[in-house]
Amino acid sequence: MRKLPRSLRLYVAASTLYAALIFIAVQFIYTIELAQSGIFIARRDNGDLLSSIQLVSFIVWLGISLIAAVVMFRLATALAGAQSAEAEAKTSEEQKDQELGAIFGLSSALAGPLSLEQIGAFFVAAVRAALPPHTTIALIVYDDVLEAFRTVAADGPHADELKDRSYSAVALPSIVRIRVIDHRQSLVIPDTSAEKAMWTKVSEEMPAVAGAGSFAALPLVSRERLVGALLLLGERAGDLTPDKAQMPVIMGQYVAGSIHSALAVNEAEARAERETLVNRIAQRARGTLDPDEILRATVDELAKVLGVTRAVVATGDSEAKLEVIYEWTADGEPSVGLGPRDLPVSRLAARLGRTLFVTDIRVDRRFSDPKTAAALAPLGVIAIAATPIRIGGRFAASLALVHTDRPREWTADDARLIDSVAQELRGAIAAAEAFEQQRQAVAELERLSRAKSDFVSIVSHEFRTPLTGIQGFSEMMQSEDLTIDEMREYAGDINKDAHRLNRMITEMLDLDKMESGHMEIHREAVDLNVIVTEAAESMRPNAPRHPVSLRLDPLVGEVSADRDKLTQVMANLLSNAVKYSPEGGEVVVSTRLEGNTAHVVVRDHGMGIPKAALETIFERYGRVESLATRHIRGTGLGLPIVRQIVQLHGGAVWVESTVGEGSVFHVTLPRGATVRPEVAEAAS
């Protein structure tokens, strides 16, 4: 018999005592009443009545006691039943406490800031305790940076197949994607062999789970956001049921929040890193105006942050002519090399005018034609992102980021990053280009200014020589006793030097006039050969030590030209030829007819002209300043005047030269009366 509570025992004892007292009291009252009534007489017949009353009383007491005992038994039984139910209830509560404890333990373990991997490890360990052994547990979370799910923790027999994997949303089995990811409902398949059709499809889409006897995929949702999913693979059918999945679901609710925070931290860090990169690039770009430096800095940083193996910058006026100007490689070894290259992806990106992303070029149909494939093969490209850089609306350059090691699914974040870097690059390159133009303009101005001061120095030098004569002779005429003949002679010298000075001034003014288009030319029919002969004749007395020979073609005949100007041209060319030739150096002048063009060639055997100066000698102030020409007198205006005059006649003048061997000056003149419109205008 079970133990009765003390109160119950007390109650039974009290009621028995009470029943006994009632019995005695009743007997006593009866006895007195009977005695008083006179009935109780010591008679034998009275004794029967008394004993019958006593018997009735005893039976009543017995009945009451019996009823009490039954009641008590019933009560005790009921009580005992109640007690055992209570105990039972207590056991299940303890278990629940334990599970709750696990969850609380989990949630307290998750209280601190943790990495996704740490969270995953806690979570998987906690879930493991609630599930049959040999269940594979994998936590996949949605990585916003990757824009894909990736396994952060896995445990169990199939864990290896699930670890370190990432799945873009489309790579997950469609039923998981639709049910779990899109609709955020749990998917539990207690027996995969009972769902053959469905399981075959799931196995195809995600071979890692194929061997499971039962399967569950549980969404992890935090603050309305799906942060990941828990994949459970039971060894046998029935290892996972909706009931058994309850615990992981509850735990998942706790873990989801932590995953959410960890993801947010990761994303914030990734964003911050990328923003920092863009800022850093912008800063470096603003810190320098050297386009090469901007290029290097920007491309290096971007390539490192994106983790690509190669970055290539190619410039070109059009997409068809790309020239690699900078290359970064992860190992520092050049691979594409600088110079013109065929870059099919950059070319297509340039043509489309937008960034082009290729996950795996080996299976990309856009680049599968044999010609493109042949161009791509030596480059070793697998994944590539190529973006065109346009400046002022025209294509200027192309930036390509390449994986030669693996395919890559470029994310929207990558695209944003590449785009913002390209923006920086564009701005910086445009600014640097503008600066470069400015710099060149300034350098040109400086060059002109220097040339001008050189010119002033040359001219003042040339002016001072006749001035020395004028000043010296006039001083002597003034202060010394001279005969009238001496006076006359010196006056003549002064006059000669004055003329010389005047000629120089006229030359300068002529050039100015011609350059500003105010020079008039008076055309007439002029025999070119005659002009050349006259110029050579007048040169000879001044250059007795330089043989001048003429090879004239009589067919050249007459040209329509200004006689005086043409004479000046020939005189200048001849005097130059003599001036720059050593003594005895032969000067040859030849004429010939080429179609309707007269061609004059003046060949000397002088010092020659350096290549860099072949054009500048025709510019005003352009005389080649060197040791070799220091002893040459002249304002340096001769050739600029020649060019101006020839151009006014619609002709051309140029020079060919070999340093140390001599120079050949060419003059062409149209024979007809063709006058350039602006010249006609100037002449009118």
Residues within the interface to another protein (CB under 8 A): 457, 460-473, 475-476, 479-480, 490, 493, 496-497, 583, 630-633
Cα–Cα distance, 492 to 484 (Å, whole number): 12
As measured in angstroms, the least distance from the Cβ of 528 to another protein is 31
Q: How far is the CB of 500 from another protein (least distance, A)?
A: 8
Query: Which run of H or E residues covers position 84?
Result: helix 44-109
Angle between helices 638-648 and 563-579 (to 10 degrees): 150
Considering beta carbons, is residue 329 or 474 the nearer one to another protein?
Answer: 474
State the minimum distance, in angstroms, from the CB of residue 544 to another protein.
13
Closest contact distance (angstroms) between CB of 456 and another protein is: 10
Cα distance between residue 580 and residue 639, in whole Å: 13
Q: Which is nearer to another protein, 156 or 466 (CB)?
A: 466
Evaluate whether 367 touches 345 at the Cβ level (below 8 Å).
Answer: yes
Q: Which is nearer to another protein, 472 or 557 (CB)?
A: 472
E-strand ranges in 430-586 read 523-527, 548-551, 558-562
Q: Are strands 548-551 and 523-527 parallel, antiparallel or unpaired?
A: unpaired
- Give the Cα-Cα-Cα angle 10, 12, 15 (nearest 5 degrees): 105
Q: Tokens for 481?
A: 């006793």
User: 353: Cβ–Cβ under 8 A, 6 or more apart, which residues?
Assistant: 388, 390
From CA 356, how far away is CA 350, in angstroms rounded? 9
Between 497 and 562, CB nearer to another protein = 497
What are the residues facing 221 on neighbouring strands?
Answer: 226
Indicate the residue among 7 and 483 with the shorter CB distance to another protein: 483
The three state secondary structure string of 404-439 is CCCCCCCCHHHHHHHHHHHHHHHHHHHHHHHHHHHH
Least distance in Å: CB of 631 to another protein?
Answer: 4
Question: From the CB of 658, what's the least distance to another protein, in Å?
Answer: 22
Shortest Cβ 301–another protein spacing (Å): 48
Shortest spacing between CB 636 and another protein, in angstroms: 13
- Shortest reach from residue 488's CB to another protein, in Å: 14
List C-alpha distances in Å: 587 to 581, 599, 631. Answer: 8, 17, 20
Please tell me the distance from the alpha carbon of residue 69 to that of residue 78, in angstroms, as a whole number.
Answer: 14
> Which is closer to another protein, CB of 110 or CB of 504?
504
* Pick 413 or 493: Cβ nearer another protein: 493
- Closest CB to another protein among 191 and 625? 625
Nearer to another protein, 287 or 492 (CB): 492
The one-letter amino acid at 156: G
Q: Closest CB to another protein among 97 and 475?
A: 475
| Beta carbons of 627 and 621 less than 8 angstroms apart | no
DSSP-derived secondary structure for 492-528: HHHHHHHHHHHHHHHHHHHHHHHHTT-----EEEEEH
As measured in angstroms, the least distance from the Cβ of 580 to another protein is 10
Could you tell me if residue 380 is left (phi over 0), alpha (psi between -120 and 50 degrees) or otherwise beta?
A: left
Rank residues 479 and 684 by Cβ distance to another protein and give the closer one.
479
The nearer residue to another protein, 433 or 489, going by C-beta atoms, is 489
**Structure-token pair, residue 4:** 């009765």
Residue 657 CB, nearest distance to another protein (Å)? Answer: 20
Q: Write down the residue that tokens 């509570």 correspond to.
A: 5
296, 327 Cβ separation under 8 angstroms: no
Tokens of 78: 């009921």
Task: Report which DSSP code applies to 185.
Answer: -
Find out whether 320 and 347 touch, Cβ atoms under 8 Å: yes
What's the closest the beta carbon of residue 494 comes to another protein, in angstroms? 9
